[in-house]
Structures are given as C-alpha cells and as structure tokens.
Chains A and B, each alone.
Chain A
C-alpha cells in the first residue's frame, strides 16, 4: 500500500484575478463504513452550530454579520480513505474595505475547534434535530426516481459493497448514532488529527502567518496516510438481467460494465473510454439513442476509475427498452476499430485543448489540480492531454476486450394510460 506524505503548513496558491479568498482544511482519515452516519451528522453539526453560537439562528446571523460568503463542510470518500473538508470563502479585504479578515478567520477556527459540545458529547437537542432531519432527507430522496433507480441498480451491480453500502441503504445504523459517537468521530477526525491546509487568492504570506499565529498556532508536523483508493469490481462470467416495476411515469435502463483483471494503470484507459462514448465532441451515446433512434430525452454515462466501473443510464419509454439495450451493446462492441479509435482520441485531445483554455477562467481549476496532485486523486487535464497523446491504440483496444457487460437493470414505468403509444421499432 502506498503512503502519502505531506505537512500541516498552509500552502498558498496566489491569484490576484479573483476578488475572493478561500481557506480549505482537509482532514485525512481512514474510512470505515460503520462510521458513515456519525461522519454525516458531524458534517451537519459543524456546518450550522458552535459552542459560541449554539443554535442555527445565531450561527447564521454571525455568518451574515461577518460578511462570510461561504462556510462549508463536505466529505470526499474514496474507498478506504476519507477527506473531511471544511472551507471558508470570504471577500478579498483589499477589495471590500468594510470586511474584517481577522473576525472571519477567528470565527472559522472557532467553529472547527470549539463545537457545540458539553461533557464530551454533542449537544443532545441539536443532535436529535440533525438526526431527524437526516432521516427525513434520506426518505425524501429515496422517493426520487433518479436516486431510487440508481440505488436499485447498484444493489445488483456492486458485488463488493463499496457503492451500495451508503446512507440510503443502512438506516438501522443511523439509529445507533449518539451524541457521544459523533463526538468520538469528531475527536479522531478533527482534534487528534492534522489537516492539509490550502489557501487560494490575493493574500500575502505575512497575512497568512499572522492569522495562524493569532488564531491557530501550529507546530510543523508531517502527516503520513495509507493510500487505499482502489478496489476494482470483477465482472460476472455472464451478465445478469434484472427488471423491476415502479409507479413512476418514466422507465429507466442501466447497463453496467466492469473491467476484467483491472489494474491501476488501466484507470486512464477507462476514463478515456468514458470520454470517447460521452464527451460533447464525440457524443456517441446521445447520437445513438436520441439523434439516430429517437428513443430517449435523456441519457448519461458515469465511470469510477477507483472501482473500475462504467455504466450507462437512459430514461425512456418502456417499449423502447429492447432496442436501447441492443444499441448500447452495439455501440460498445463496435469500438474495436483502430482507425476510428485514433480519430476519437484526436477529437478528445482537441476538446481537452479547449478545456485547458477555459480552465484559465476557472477559479477552482488551480485549487483542484493542487488537491488532486497532492492527494494523488487524479491526473490533471494537462497530464491527461500528454497521456492520451502518447497512448498506444493497440493497447487501448486490448483493454477494451476486457470491458465486460455485468448488469442490465430495467425499472419499468407505470404509464398504463399511454400503452397504445408504440415506438416504431
């Protein structure tokens, strides 16, 4: 297992083109599924309360008063690694004279390190409220066709459990959470841990040093974590077909593929395959299902290179299912022509070239590139351009032969009143 090493000194990405400054604290921690609800509740509790401002009303008022544009808590979970991210988004004090940088930063540090805790547990009343809110949000979300169909699909597609064991499918675990269990989670992720700190914007080293000295003095410390990002799902010998019924108006079709003997070095091939099928410039999937055959309004492709999976979904009329399956299968099967693949790669390279120009306008490209590189999450666009430029098409074709259909899932809609509408298929 690879080790990732970094230190806790703030890293400043200087940029004078934007009128805002971002502070990002990223706490790395080994992820365990049993903690999923504690982590989620911790996220919600840190987002809206602190010891000094113990109610949402008071907390929100302070955000407004201190002219904080954004204060957010989110999580990045990659297989067995968790990155707990807390960020502050503020105006540049050089551009907004009435803004007080010290006040905003001290509030931010206080919100992280002085949460609403009494006697070694989170405030019971606030905890109960967040727990109820989380349960209600999960239940409401599961009524939505997009989430419902996806959860049903991965239930069959994911034969390891990394994807299907999520907050939508493990609600008995939510019942086990307590103000104490969330506090313990807080201790291990935040207080007994050190973050990777990234600052972006028009701010000097001296300003940053002064802020940290005053409000969050730190001692230089190296942080080492085990990088355990990959758990590749193996395809079944024969693909499975599952069909279920629902009361929704639409029907949804998923075709899930996996890669036989997937290796870490196949990740770029898998992403390239996704780009070939569904990037704007090639547009193969949309052309096949909508433009050439008029079967869908909406279709999409997703891939996750950490698990070695790629799947397609299509929202369509129930009568169009068989034709859509045939078309998608043919689309993937026909990607075996060397000349055609070379042509697609050329198109993808041209598209990335344009994206690199667009990125110059994007505030977050620099930050994301830094985080991706530091945490080895993904290669950046420039690196991808170089990788794709030098890709051996024969090797890519050999990779394609290992891409296997694993699961077809069809959620049949209930538009009985319109059964007479037969597609001309």
Chain B
C-alpha cells in the first residue's frame, strides 16, 4: 500500500493537505487559520482597521472552551480523542488525534471552529485563564527578551507577542472579537491538514459537504502592506531579569522578497547548514568562544520568517557582550563554506526526510509550513535535496544582507532576597 500526499483547493478557497500512511493506526486532523498574533490590522474598502493585541489567541480559547459542544477539550477527551489548539505569530491551529470515529470527529472539529457559540459572558469568563497565561509568560526571560528584540527590529510591524497584555485583555469586547472572527475565520483563510490511514477522496467529499452546509458569508478584506524598511529601529536594548549569567543575542533582519517561494524553502535548509557549520560545536566560532572563555555554553541559533524578512538570531550566555558580538559579526562577515560539511549535511537532510515517514505528523508538519509560511504547495522531496549544489548554497547565502542587525541582552537584575520562609504551620 502506497504512502501519498495530496493538496487541493476547494471552490470556497479552503486548502486541503492530506498525507496517507496505510501502516498507521492513529489519525490526525488540523484546522489552521491564517490568523496569528501578528495580524492586528486589516483593510476593508480601503479603510484600515487596527485591533488590540492578543485577539487571535483569545479566539482560540473561546472557540475551544465555549464551542457548540460545550468545552471541546472535555467533549473530545470524553471520546478518548486528544485535542487542543495553539496560536503563534502567523496561525491559529486546532487539532484532534484519534484511533477511532475519525470522520465524525473531523466534522465536529470543523463545526467547533466554524460555528461560533461564545457570548458576552463567555468573553469575561475566559479572561482569567488568559491573564494567568500572560503571567506565566512574564516569568519567561526569553519571551521578555523576544519582545524587546521585536521592538528593536521593526518599525511598522507592531507585533510584540501573541497573548497581548493584561490591560488589553481586560478591555476586550465581544464586538471586536466577533468582528475579527468574521474577517479571519473565512474558509478561504483556512487550511485543513490530515494524516493517517485515510481515504482521501472520501474525506475531500465529506469536508466539501460540511463546509457547504455552513453557508459562511464572504467578506472581502486585505492585509496591510507594512512597508517595513530594511533597517532596524534600534541597534541595542536590554531587559533586566533575575539571572546568574547575562545572555546576549544578535538578530539580523534580512529582506528575502527577491527569493521565489521555492527558493525560500530551500533557503531554510541552506541556513541550517550555514549556521551549524559556522556556530555549532564543530565550528571555529565555538572553539574561540570556549578557549577565550567568553562562555561555557554552546551558541544557540535559529531563524524565522516575518513578512518579507527572515530573522536570523545567534546568542549565548555570556558576560562578555562586546567580544561575543564581535565574534558573531566577524564569523558572519568571513562566512565559511566547507564543501565536505555541505555534502555531509545534505546527506543528513536526505536521511531526515526518510525518517519523517516513521511518523505521519512529521510528514505533514513541513508541508503545512511550506504552504502557510512560504506559499509553496509541495512537500520537501529527496530529489530536490539531491539537486542542491555547493555553488548554489554559497550563492544563496551570499545573497543575504547581514548588515542590519540589533543586539539585545538579558542583564542581571538585583533581586532582594525575598525567598524566605514566612510561616510553617502544622495543622
């Protein structure tokens, strides 16, 4: 029996992604809304509307906790189905995972997302849990650093975090939340991704029929063009936290609008190779970091796309900010391209694509990313990776402009010794 993936676009604009693996017992369905923390503006009839931060995440809670089935977590859990949702900067994702009654549960998941039943009272009830979640995030020093970094990087993209603040959450109204729901939860803004031992034509038919029954009204809207400049807004900033060692991060803001969608996907592989080769434990930069006693930790690196940019971040725990920033900048300036390393990493990528088959979700997730993040409607293919060349790798990385960057850091905060025992009472 063959494993296969399929992509469809329905008349209502809904995108369907399927990955069939007849050897598996578990089935997974995601409904992904292209609405995340960054989307706090929209345009209707040439008029721009601004919304408060945190509504996408708030809606995720409302739709799950006050669905037409009551609390959907309880509803699905009672049927032994794993379920939840999450919101990031670009999307809101609702999912189920089950070994039985998949088709009915899929229809229920579609109904949960597309038939909102929350009311004004529910908006108030949901606030408590979200405010606790915000507090939880405020105790995470790296999230606080990220907020500061985003402030430094962007002038027009007003994205701070996905949750909003206690103040914005307290003041949210039913009307503004419902308006955002009506705009962003249209079928054309949704992607359904399914994997497991599935009958693709049957599911496609079922989904088409379910959405026809919903009869959702179409609202024309556009997302704003941010006209975000290539330059960063602020070169340096910091947060103070209760830490033993300071943490320093260099974030590069790189415009990749000249890359095609396929090239952007390819760039994610090349960036991985490049950052590993230049900053991992096998790199010269790491050797210098350790032997010059800048840090005892490894160098962390990651990248993420926002709007027309890819943000490349390189950081570590260090009390030697200046030396570390110089090390990172010099490494980037004198980029090392090692052909042997490139071939080894290419082989590793091919192995990782083979390994993805062990878990259908591992096959589906990269496809979802390709579609949502890069508008590229194909899964990663071994044949594509085999065609990657060392010359192309160097050319693509050399095309990236690393001149715009900011340095953000976590500095030590003086914490008064408050952790003392108050009372010990035997009851």
What is the interface of chain A, defined by CB distance below 8 A to chain B? 17-20, 48, 55-61, 64-65, 67, 69, 91, 95-96, 98-99, 129, 132-133, 136, 139-140, 143, 145, 152, 236, 238-250, 280-281, 283, 286-287, 290-291, 294-298, 315-317, 350-351, 354, 357-358, 360-361, 363, 412-415, 418, 421, 423
Contact across chains for B245 and A244 when beta carbons are under 8 A apart: no
Find chain B residues with CB under 8 A from A244 CB: 419-422
Residue ID in chain B nearest A239 by CB atoms: B427
Taking each of B245, B282, B419, which has the highest tally of chain A beta carbons within 10 Å of its own beta carbon? B282
- Identify which of A56, A236, A315 contacts B281 (C-beta below 8 A): A56
**Min distance, Cβ A125 to any Cβ of chain B, angstroms:** 10
Q: Is the C-beta of B287 less than 8 angstroms from some C-beta in chain A?
A: yes
- Besides the known contacts A19-B357, A413-B135, 20 further A-B residue pairs in the complex with CB atoms under 8 A apart: A55-B287, A57-B282, A67-B347, A99-B351, A140-B317, A240-B425, A242-B424, A244-B419, A244-B422, A247-B242, A281-B80, A286-B73, A294-B125, A298-B132, A298-B136, A357-B26, A357-B100, A358-B26, A358-B99, A418-B166
Contact across chains for B244 and A246 when beta carbons are under 8 A apart: no
**Min distance, Cβ A124 to any Cβ of chain B, angstroms:** 15
Contact across chains for B133 and A297 when beta carbons are under 8 A apart: yes
- Identify which of A55, A96, A241, A287 contacts B424 (C-beta below 8 A): A241
- Identify which of A19, A139, A280, A413 contacts B77 (C-beta below 8 A): A280
A232 to B247, CA, bound (A): 42
**Min distance, Cβ B328 to any Cβ of chain A, angstroms:** 18
Contact across chains for B26 and A245 when beta carbons are under 8 A apart: no
What is the interface of chain B, defined by CB distance below 8 A to chain A? 23-26, 65, 71, 73-74, 77-78, 80, 82, 99-100, 125, 128-133, 135-136, 138-139, 141, 166, 242-245, 280-283, 286-287, 290, 296-297, 317, 341, 344-345, 347-348, 350-351, 354-355, 357-359, 415-416, 418-427
Contact across chains for B351 and A67 when beta carbons are under 8 A apart: yes
- Identify which of B80, B347, B426 contacts A354 (C-beta below 8 A): B80
Find chain B residues with CB under 8 A from A317 CB: 132, 135
Find chain A residues with CB under 8 A from B416 CB: 247
**Min distance, Cβ B287 to any Cβ of chain A, angstroms:** 6
Find chain B residues with CB under 8 A from A139 CB: 244-245
Contact across chains for A67 and B128 when beta carbons are under 8 A apart: no
**Min distance, Cβ A219 to any Cβ of chain B, angstroms:** 35
Contact across chains for B423 and A242 when beta carbons are under 8 A apart: yes
Contact across chains for B74 and A291 when beta carbons are under 8 A apart: yes
Known contacts being A140-B317, A351-B80, is A283 close to B74, with CB within 8 Å? yes
Contact across chains for A96 and B354 when beta carbons are under 8 A apart: yes
- Identify which of B80, B243, B290, B359 contacts A350 (C-beta below 8 A): B80
Contact across chains for B244 and A143 when beta carbons are under 8 A apart: yes
Known contacts being A143-B242, A247-B415, is A287 close to B74, with CB within 8 Å? yes
Find chain B residues with CB under 8 A from A18 CB: 358
Find chain A residues with CB under 8 A from B424 CB: 240-242
A95 to B419, CA, bound (A): 56
Find chain B residues with CB under 8 A from A133 CB: 296-297
Known contacts being A280-B82, A283-B77, A357-B99, is A98 close to B135, with CB within 8 Å? no
A408 to B232, CA, bound (A): 49
A72 to B124, CA, bound (A): 48
Contact across chains for B355 and A19 when beta carbons are under 8 A apart: yes
**Min distance, Cβ B386 to any Cβ of chain A, angstroms:** 11
**Min distance, Cβ B195 to any Cβ of chain A, angstroms:** 11
Find chain B residues with CB under 8 A from A423 CB: 128
Residue ID in chain A nearest B137 by CB atoms: A249
Residue ID in chain B nearest A294 by CB atoms: B128
Find chain A residues with CB under 8 A from B425 CB: 240-241
**Min distance, Cβ A28 to any Cβ of chain B, angstroms:** 30
Contact across chains for B139 and A145 when beta carbons are under 8 A apart: yes
- Identify which of B129, B351, B418 contacts A297 (C-beta below 8 A): B129
A59 to B77, CA, bound (A): 46
Find chain A residues with CB under 8 A from B128 CB: 294-295, 423
**Min distance, Cβ A9 to any Cβ of chain B, angstroms:** 28
A57 to B287, CA, bound (A): 8
- Identify which of B71, B99, B136 contacts A315 (C-beta below 8 A): B136
Contact across chains for B351 and A129 when beta carbons are under 8 A apart: no
Contact across chains for B80 and A19 when beta carbons are under 8 A apart: no
**Min distance, Cβ B421 to any Cβ of chain A, angstroms:** 5
List 10 A-B pairs, Cβ < 8 Å: A59-B281, A96-B350, A136-B296, A145-B139, A241-B426, A245-B422, A290-B129, A315-B136, A317-B132, A354-B99
A136 to B316, CA, bound (A): 13
Find chain B residues with CB under 8 A from A294 CB: 125, 128-129
Find chain B residues with CB under 8 A from A421 CB: 131
A227 to B26, CA, bound (A): 37
Q: 3 shortest A-B CB distances, which residue pairs? A: A297-B132, A139-B244, A357-B99
A27 to B246, CA, bound (A): 38
Taking each of A132, A244, A295, A414, which has the highest tally of chain B beta carbons within 10 Å of its own beta carbon? A244
- Identify which of A58, A64, A287 contacts B345 (C-beta below 8 A): A64
Contact across chains for A57 and B351 when beta carbons are under 8 A apart: no
- Identify which of A64, A136, A239, A291 contacts B344 (C-beta below 8 A): A64
**Min distance, Cβ A339 to any Cβ of chain B, angstroms:** 18
Residue ID in chain B nearest A241 by CB atoms: B425
Find chain A residues with CB under 8 A from B73 CB: 283, 286
Contact across chains for B132 and A136 when beta carbons are under 8 A apart: no
- Identify which of B24, B125, B347, B357 contacts A361 (C-beta below 8 A): B24
- Identify which of B139, B348, B355 contacts A64 (C-beta below 8 A): B348
Find chain A residues with CB under 8 A from B423 CB: 241-243
A129 to B282, CA, bound (A): 16
A15 to B77, CA, bound (A): 31
Find chain B residues with CB under 8 A from A280 CB: 77, 80, 82
Known contacts being A136-B317, A240-B425, A241-B425, is A415 close to B135, with CB within 8 Å? yes
A17 to B24, CA, bound (A): 10
Find chain A residues with CB under 8 A from B420 CB: 244-245
Find chain A residues with CB under 8 A from B357 CB: 19
A76 to B135, CA, bound (A): 34
**Min distance, Cβ A362 to any Cβ of chain B, angstroms:** 9
**Min distance, Cβ A183 to any Cβ of chain B, angstroms:** 22
A65 to B416, CA, bound (A): 50
Contact across chains for A140 and B132 when beta carbons are under 8 A apart: no
**Min distance, Cβ A49 to any Cβ of chain B, angstroms:** 11
